[in-house]
Amino acid sequence: MPDTADTPPFAPAGTAPVSTYPLMLETAGWTDYALLDMGDGEKLERYGRFTIVRPEPQAMGRRRLKPAVWDRADAAFSGDTEEEGPGRWKFSGNVPEIWQMAYGPVKFHGRFMSFRHVGVFPEQAAHWDWVNTKIRQEHEHQPDRPLKVLNLFGYTGLASLLPAVEGAHVTHIDASKKAITYARENQELSGLEDLPIRWICEDASKFVAREVRRGNTYDGIILDPPKYGRGPKGEIWDLYSSLPGMLADLQKLLSKDAVFMILTAYAIRSSFVSIHELMAETLQNQGGRLESGELLIREDGGHRALSTSLFSRWSSR
């Protein structure tokens, strides 16, 4: 049975990690982001100075705000309710293609991208803060040891830039040339060009398999895969069939002094219990602690919470 105490112990290396679930991680927004309202299968959000309406199947309740507030949104996406489904943006007034936002020391561009995305997944803030805390704690124990972090399916780079600010040496992998370009633009926008980040456009599975053959290891791994995707050469990624093999390889990439590993899954028809058990099987001799649950965004004003994704994360201490 999982240990559901608030502060469970950490298991020693060579044994199974102590399991904790369910854990609900909330993001209440920040200066440049807020979940303003939700309901009737849509959500109303603020990204910087713009309000945006997008489909959200998880928003099954009723809207709190008046229709006029929703009608004044700067942009709305309509189309398939699937996360990667087709659709189009409709704009109200003169809305720029890109605009600037920030999270802590990292500046980044919001942009109206295909498949309803805007360049950032705000619920990931809970993981960004947790990773940076782990890096700081490790630095206190070993101040002369820069952690090596691998960020797979890294998108526009926030989960790479923030650890690098804390002194980590980051390898960022994404199969999309556009995403790599946007990530490098965010690095330049932040004035962080000197940070030790390798930006690599490659199929994640192939990169991981090659790193295993080379005998390379990492102290932290961030894994944020889509349900479905294609690599630069048409390689097919399917979460349900591809994830187990990748996790088996990633276990081999954890260094003997590894600190953390995070898996986020947006396949809502799955369960956090499923990915917890898969991670537990992968890390059965890793010790430490394994926590799993859901990422939530708290509605502005502290009312309702929106579940966005599932996660499982391991830490050595």
Q: What is the pLDDT of residues 238-257, one digit of tens each?
A: 888 889 999 999 999 999 99
Q: Are residues 243 and 268 in the same domain?
A: yes
Q: Which tokens belong to 250?
A: 């990633």
Q: What are phi and psi of 128, to 5 degrees?
A: -55, -45
pLDDT value, residue 240: 83
Instruction: Name the residue type at position 86.
Output: P
Residue 173 located in a structural domain? yes
- Tell me which of 58, 92, 111 is where a domain ends: 111
Q: Are residues 79 and 189 in the same domain?
A: no
Q: What is d(CA 32, CA 103) in angstroms, rounded to the nearest whole number?
A: 8
Tell me which residue has tokens 């630069």. 232
Residue 189 located in a structural domain? yes
Q: Are residues 215 and 175 in the same domain?
A: yes
Q: Which domain holds residue 37?
A: 33-111
Q: Which tokens belong to 277?
A: 């058990």
- Tell me which of 55, 84, 111 is where a domain ends: 111
Q: What is d(CA 60, CA 90) in angstroms, rounded to the nearest whole number?
A: 23
Model-level pTM?
0.92
Residue 41 located in a structural domain? yes
Q: Tell me the pLDDT band of 5, cut-offs 50, 70 and 90.
A: very low
Query: Of the ranges 89-98, 124-133, 179-188, 284-293, which one carries the lowest mean pLDDT score?
Result: 89-98
Average of pLDDT values for 161-178? 97
Asked whether the predicted pLDDT for residue 83 surpasses 70, the reply is no
Q: Name the burial class of residue 303, with classes exposed (0-12), middle (13-18) and buried (19+) by CB atoms within 10 angstroms of its CB.
A: exposed
Q: Are residues 183 and 278 in the same domain?
A: yes
- Tell me which of 111, 132, 156 is where a domain ends: 111
Q: The CATH number of the domain where 71 resides is what?
A: 2.60.40.1180
Q: Are residues 226 and 177 in the same domain?
A: yes
**33 bridge partner residues:** 30, 47
